[in-house]
Homo-oligomer: A and B are copies of this chain.
Amino acid sequence: MPKETFLKLNPEKRKKITDSFLREFSTNNYDDASLTTVVKSLGIAKGSIYQYFDSKLDLFLYLQSECGAIKAKYIMHLKRDDYPDFWAYFKALYREGIKFDLNHPLESNFLHSLAKHIHAPSLKELTKKWFDQVIGVMCSWIQHEVDIGHFRDDLPVKSMAFFLYTVSISIGDYMRTMHGLNLDENIKSGKPVYAAQKGQILLQSVDEYIAMLRKAFEK
């Protein structure tokens, strides 16, 4: 949690600082991301950071929760029951995700690059917790579909959840590969991850994935 001093900062300065660190963590491993570099580029003193946050980790966690909260606003209001099947819901999640990216490119970049941090020694326990949570959510999704007879019931729910998790987080990379995007460059320059592309083309990727996932899961 950031200290009071940081929260009392005028919003512009706060945003400037936040943005710079989002960029740094988006293009580097946690352990390789350098506070010194960011502080220099911001033109503020290193000591200031430690008046705003307890530690590098504190700063990182703050960024993570802020970005998560913003993205949640786009996604949380979607309800499975408003869609005829799970895959319509799944696609809607991605549709909102792309909106989020266009409106909050830096935050999206940061979340998108979280996979990079998973193997950082300093974050091992944290990422394990996060992973278990995500798998938990997916398990409950899938269990529900099994219960109403939409999904197959001959495999462990957890296996299916893991499969879905893996495939889901890979869709971003998949878009890059298939549509020739250069995510890393967009991240560095601060452009939206999917800047040059229309949402429609990107959703086509999601459709292709769904075409496979649907068959894999259906009864």
A residues near B, CB below 8 A? Answer: 28-29, 31-32, 115-116, 119-121, 135, 154-156, 158-160, 162-163, 166-167, 170, 173-174, 177-178, 205, 208-209, 211-213, 215-218
CB distance from A170 to the nearest CB of B (A): 4
Pairwise interchain contact B177-A135, C-beta atoms closer than 8 A: yes
A31-B31, A156-B208, A162-B173 known; 15 other A-B pairs, CB under 8 Å?
Answer: A29-B29, A31-B32, A32-B121, A116-B119, A135-B177, A155-B208, A156-B178, A158-B177, A159-B205, A159-B212, A162-B170, A163-B212, A166-B170, A212-B217, A215-B215
Name the CB-closest residue of B to A214: B216
Pairwise interchain contact B29-A155, C-beta atoms closer than 8 A: no
Pairwise interchain contact B178-A158, C-beta atoms closer than 8 A: yes
A29–B212 CA distance with the chains assembled, in angstroms? 33
Q: With A212-B217, A215-B218 given, is the CB distance from A174 to B162 under 8 Å?
A: yes
